[in-house]
Structure 1
Amino acid sequence: MRSKSFGSAKLACLTLVALGACVIPIPTFSPSYAQTVAGRAIGEDASKFVADQQVASSKPAAEYTTLQLPSPNGIDVTATYQKGSKKIVQIEATRQLSLPGASGQFGKFEFGKTSLSEIRSLFGSKGLLFTGIAPVTATPDGGVTIVSSYEVQGTSIIASFASKISASSLRELKQRFGEDMYAHLDGVALLESTVVADIAYLIGTRGNELVYDVGYAPIVWKNPISTAVKPRQISVARISPSQLPVHRIYNGPINAPYFTDASARNFQTRISEGMAGGPTFAGEYAVIQVGCGTGCSIAYTASVRTGEVSRIPIDDDAAQYLDLKYQIDSRLLVAQSAKGAASKCHMQFLTMDEGEWISLLEHDVGPTETCYNSIAQNLRN
């Protein structure tokens, strides 16, 4: 199990308590100023325009200042610079809601039009995560934002693309696909903002441990992944449960289950019994795993607060050798099961956000027999 960490110049493997992963430092990159957003570049001297700009905010106030810059048509632009050196360390372009279709500042990307599935397809993976910040957040208007980040090849820069699913799109997906809606999120999440930032700045604000998706490789700015770039050979990505905390744990009355998934009705008694024990996941959900034959099982979550029952979106409907890892104070659930057709043991990292499932990362752990081990064992290997 490996993740990446900045710091020491040589490789080291440290035991991590939460999921038993290995932390491996990587070397820093040489600076490069070729990547620009709205005509501004990381590392550019901000002195020439600081006096003429309106200060939008400071973060943190003692060391960095963020300015609102003149915006090209259809986007808002901010630049964060280090007060001491006056060097720009982050640039963010965000679409103006009334003007969809403005340049997404990368290749042919367009704000409000380019989907998350297009971004991930172009880059070949879901990107990387900083363990100090959640990749999925709820928005004030009831939507959800998903951030995908990638190193820019040969530089000290990370590019991030934030895609938003509106509240209305979430409702429509729920109505059309029911419990299978999670599989369609990537297609309706639309590009909301593009950010480029210096790695050293991000370490200070997001933490120095990175988690890489399966098949990850750095991106070439304004181009798809180069065929000459070899994907990182990693075992599986690490996400800490503490990265996706819940804000409260429900301790009220347990409501009777109601079923939006037709298959769950076949297990009404088993699900009711599982709910009677109270929540065990994400603050208000009971997790129920039901056998369906030799080595086969199906898993559900049931909200003891609302009674809503939903199937956990494992790749195979009836999973072989299914193992689940979760806890009551986190929205992270790790599922491991054998994929029969592929003869492989597969691991998924999922999060429950506002009652909806979102897939974060996936990984093939090994051959089918690897699933005889628990998740904890495979995360230590």
Structure 2
Amino acid sequence: MKKFLLVAAFAVATMSSSVAFDLSGLAIGDPLDQADALGAEVLAEQIDGPLIVRKYQLPSGNQLSVTALRKANSIVYIEMNWIGSKSGRLTDIPGFHFGSTLLSEIRETFGSNGYAHKEHMAFPVGEQIALFNTYGLAPTGAQAVTFVTIIGQDTGSDPSRAILDTIILADATFLDSYWGEEKLFDPAYQPVELR
């Protein structure tokens, strides 16, 4: 019963939220088939209960992971991963580049450190640490963008020097169910405008 209620809540939230931003031409609420229309190679597909996850290899070298509600055929999570290629450095956010934009620049652009899901703030990735900074999208915060930055040998231990590696666009309700509802907010946090 709980899974059904979660799926219903995601479907309602996704249908009622307006499209504020997209990654690679995909927006929250789009049908999963729209991801296939990108013409990118499908690397993997996984069905996990009410969800379907597809991973694509883009011509830029980046990898795109898309999660959708199976019954509603509605995208709830989009993740763009930089794989390290020069051709993949551009992002959908003007002035932000994979491999060179610093966490300090993200903070400066949006006026705060955003928020972090308490259970999903940072993770070790080999010898590096991945940091997660999330911002609700204006006006309602029903969608959220997360910037994953990496602290490694090149950046030292200063988090402000962490380098942009991944951008995630997601339905905020889905993120809460996936990463936990408890959050830590920067006192200066406000939802952000992306176009």
What is the TM-score with the length of structure 2 in the denominator? Answer: 0.81
Partner of 2:132: 147
Q: Measure, in 1, the Cα distance between the counterparts of 2:145 and 2:75.
A: 14
Distance 2:44 2:104 in 1: 32
Is residue 219 from structure 1 mapped to residue 192 from structure 2 by the alignment? yes
Aligned counterpart, 1:79:
66
Identity %: 25
Query: Which position in structure 2 is the counterpart of 1:157?
Result: 143
Call closer, same or farther: CA 1:147–1:117 in 2, change over 3 Å: same
C-alpha deviations, 1:10-66, integer Å up to 9, x for none? Answer: xxxxxxxxxxxxxxxxxx79401231001111100114555987362437x111111
Report if aligned partners of 2:144, 2:170 keep a CA contact under 8 Å in 1. yes
Q: Distance in 2 between matches of 1:70 and 1:100?
A: 13
- Residues 217-366 of structure 1 aligned to structure 2 (within 5 Å): 217-222=190-195
* From 174, 177, 185, the counterpart of 1:201: 174
Correspondence for 1:185: 159
Work out whether residues 131 and 150 of structure 2, in 8 Å CA contact, stay in contact via their aligned partners in 1: yes
Residue 140 of structure 2 is aligned to residue 167 of structure 1:
no
1:221 aligned counterpart, secondary structure: coil
Kept in 2, the 8 Å contact 1:55–1:65? The answer is no
* Higher RCO by CA contacts (8 Å cutoff, separation 6 or greater): 2
CA distance in 1, matches of 2:87, 2:104: 18
Task: Tell me the distance in 1 between the aligned counterparts of 2:96 and 2:120.
Answer: 24
Larger Rg: 1
1:56 partner letter: A
Distance between the aligned counterparts of 1:99 and 1:82, measured in 2?
33
Matched-pair contact (CA < 8 Å) for 2:20–2:137 = no
Cα distance, 1:137 vs structure 2: 1.4
Please say if residues 144 and 167 of structure 1, whose CA atoms lie closer than 8 Å, have aligned partners that are also in contact: no
The alpha-carbon distance between structure 1 residues 32 and 139, as it changes in their structure 2 partners (threshold 3 A), is same
Once the two structures are TM-superposed, the CA of residue 121 in structure 1 deviates from its matched residue by 0.9
Aligned in 2, Cα 1:168/1:115: closer, same or farther, shift over 3 Å?
Answer: closer
Distance 1:70 1:104 in 2: 15
Asked whether 1:37 is paired with 2:17, we answer no
Tell me the distance in 2 between the aligned counterparts of 1:153 and 1:115: 23
* 8 Å Cα contact 1:100-1:111 kept in structure 2: no
Cα deviation for residue 206 of structure 1 reads 1.5
In 2 relative to 1, CA 201–134 (structure 1 residues): closer, same or farther, beyond 3 Å?
Answer: closer
Query: Deviation digits for residues 86-143 of structure 1, max 9, x if unmatched?
Result: 1000111111213276112212100001001000111111111222x23121111x01
How big is the alpha-carbon RMSD for the aligned residues of Structure 1 and Structure 2?
Answer: 2.5
* SS of structure 1 residue aligned to 2:175: helix
Partner secondary structure for residue 89 of structure 2: coil
Q: Which runs of 5+ in 2 are unaligned?
A: 1-12
2:54 maps to: 67
